[in-house]
Amino acid sequence: MTQHPGNPAGLYDPHELDLFEFARSGRQAAGVVRVSQLPRMLNEVPAEAPDRDTAFTWQAEGATQPELQDDGTEGPQPYLRLAIHGAAWLECQRCMTPYLQTFNVDATYRIVNTEAEAEEFPLDEDEVEVIVGSRQFDLVDLIEEELLLSLPLVPKHEVCPKVHESLVSGVAGTEGEGDEGALDEADEGGEPERPNPFKALESLKRGEPDDKKH
């Protein structure tokens, strides 16, 4: 993928990114963002967590794909791909103690010019999300939004070190088991993996990281 000699990968300001130029030039950027830079994510981290300021690595890449325009001609449609990897401490809803939750996000966005254009995009489109681009796009805000969307419905350990007393009854743990089962049932409704239209973009055909699970 071609890089601008004055802007090698990773040197873009993620808070003020010219998203249209980034996509149309097929550029790349990467960096690290800490939970302390993401106030809404920080609110999800329990005060007693061993480390409230964990880090996430992110990689962004832009591309265009030929698409039919409103005037009947074919033109380049800008896209953004964003990958986020890392972990944050959350509070287990089963034993009420902190546990480390991993995050692996791989999202693709169709970049449009206005909110009105975004609203016209089909709601049943499950391959990509739609974002309104700008010349000073805040990528960190998008990263935080994706992490919040990736929070588990019911945060919990795979195996709790202990069960919180509120989930334990005096009748052989029957009540606790029922509550735990309800948590398990609620936790099953995870989001499915999103198909990746970047596979159709010739400019991005290269080796990819192994873990792309959302």
Cβ of 4: how many Cβ atoms within 10 Å?
Answer: 12
Q: Which pLDDT score is estimated for 75?
A: 85
Cα 57 off chain centre by: 11
Phi, psi dihedral angles at 110 (to 5 degrees): -90, 125
Domain region containing 48: 19-202
Q: Which pLDDT score is estimated for 69?
A: 74
Residue count of the chain, please give it.
Answer: 214
pLDDT tens digit sequence for 96-114? 999 999 999 999 999 999 8
213 falls within a domain: no
Domain count, the chain: 1
User: Buried b vs exposed e over 132-153: b needs ≥16 C-beta within 10 Å?
Assistant: ebeeebebbebbbbbbeebeee
The list of the chain residues with pLDDT below 70 reads 1-11, 122-127, 163-214
Q: Which pLDDT score is estimated for 72?
A: 75
Rg value, the chain, Cα: 21
37 falls within a domain: yes
Distance, CA of 60 to CA of 41 (rounded, Å): 20
3 falls within a domain: no
Which tokens in the block code for residue 20?
Answer: 């249209």
**Pick from 49, 113, 39, 38: nearest CA to 75:** 113
212 falls within a domain: no
209 falls within a domain: no
DSSP 22-38: HHHTT-EEEEEEEGGG-
9 falls within a domain: no
Task: Give the residue ranges of DSSP H helices in the chain.
Answer: 19-24, 39-42, 115-120, 139-149, 174-187
pLDDT tens digit sequence for 131-169? 999 999 999 999 999 999 999 999 999 999 876 565 555
207 falls within a domain: no
Q: Which pLDDT score is estimated for 185?
A: 46
